[in-house]
A = this chain, B = another copy of it.
Amino acid sequence: MSTGVWLVGARGSVATTSMVGALALRAGLAEPTGCVTEHPDLRGSALPPIAELVFGGHDVVTTCLAKKAETLGEAGVVPPRLVAAVAEDLAAVEENLRTVPVGGTQAETAAALAADITAFRDRLGLDRVVVINVSTTESLPEPRPAHTELDLLRAELAGGGSPLPASSLAAYAAFTAGASYVDFTPSTGARLPALDALARETHLPYAGHDGKTGETLVKSVLAPMFAHRNLAVRSWSGLNLLGGGDGANLASPGPNAAKSASKQRVLAETLGYEPQGNTRIEYVDDLGDFKTAWDLVSFAGFLGVRMRMEFSWHGCDSALAAPLVLDLARLASAAHRAGRHGPLTELAFFFKDPIGDVPHGLSEQWDLLRTFVAGLPEA
């Protein structure tokens, strides 16, 4: 069961860390720390081995992958000795990367993207391909009818229109090419009724949105704790300080709003009410790929007595995201093989803003995931 992983944003930090890590694992130079699918409860032959994943992808820039990996090495995101060790394999991946075409209509672009994915699968003799969006977060698009109806969408594309944001165009291309699609970003991706219809029509599964790597992960276990203890959370405020390319982008108002909303949702969903307070994202170039998030939770206990909890999380975002990208590639591929189509709501564990009417507490999400994996057919 050979699986291709087609990364949209293939020259970015998350993508490069994922690839360096998978290659290092294949070479027996690293442990799969942080890979959820290597947890004893999930590990098994239903999933394609990490070592057998084959990488390719799109990007809008042409920075050399080896150079990007080196930069990540200097920044402490990956060990420099691993970057050196996988240099040759990385050069081979470089051959599988393609630039997003510019200048054509969206219909033409989509066709070109799909052709790249199909060529990747055919050239390397892959059984199936998972497209994973790890590109720059977009602003939320204005709603329009073509987002709702597949026929309208096809008509508008055929007419030379540009109805889709880039992430959704990537999903469209994936489905057209017979590939499953995962959105690791808060962008729109496949989360449009028209694209859901396309996924069902093409019998393809998809998953998203927004990889849950840091502060939201912690929230997804603390909020249920307060809920189960019947404590009244009065306010929950947070500040995320982050640098790196992703930080710079998230500091702009559109993407910031998309991300912040996605970060508070877990509270209302698990507590059953919305406490006061906001989550802010702030760009501090100097922090690079290492993010610091601070949260203050104020709550009332028995007879109204006021208490509080604070936490700081100092994480390396790309190192937290990369193993999840590998997990999602394995899971989406296995789901595709198993004939699943439409949204993979059982993967809520991985996302800040999961698709569907799913639990938001991490532990219930874990139970869902375990059951899902247990139900997958052996390879």
Contacts and interface: CB of A to CB of B under 8 A. Distances in A.
A303 B21 contact: yes
Contact of A302 (B21, B76, B237, B294): B21
A234 interface: yes
A302 B284 contact: no
A235 interface: yes
A315 B307 contact: yes
B310 A312 contact: yes
A93 interface: no
Contacts of A241: 235, 237, 277, 296
Given A30-B304, A228-B362, A363-B361, A312 B314 contact: no
Interface string A311-348: 11111100110110000000000000000000000000
A320 B301 CA distance: 7
Identical chains in the assembly: 4
Contacts of A20: 303
Contacts of A298: 284, 286-287
A353 to B, nearest CB: 18
Interface string A357-371: 000011110100000
Contact of A301 (B237, B296, B319): B319
Contact of A239 (B237, B315, B364): B237
A320 B302 contact: yes
Given A280-B239, A302-B21, A218 B225 contact: yes
A100 interface: no
B294 A296 contact: yes
Contacts of A364: 363
A219 to B, nearest CB: 10
Given A280-B282, A301-B323, 7 more contacts: A78-B303, A221-B363, A224-B366, A239-B239, A284-B298, A296-B312, A305-B319
Interface of A: 17, 20-21, 24, 30-36, 38-39, 76-79, 82, 217-218, 220-222, 224-225, 227-232, 234-235, 237, 239, 241, 276-278, 280, 282, 284-287, 292, 294, 296, 298, 300-305, 307-316, 319-320, 322-323, 349, 361-364, 366
26 contacts: A20-B303, A31-B304, A33-B300, A33-B301, A33-B303, A33-B304, A34-B301, A34-B302, A77-B305, A79-B303, A82-B303, A217-B225, A224-B362, A228-B363, A235-B287, A239-B280, A277-B284, A301-B315, A302-B319, A302-B320, A302-B323, A309-B314, A310-B312, A311-B312, A362-B363, A363-B366
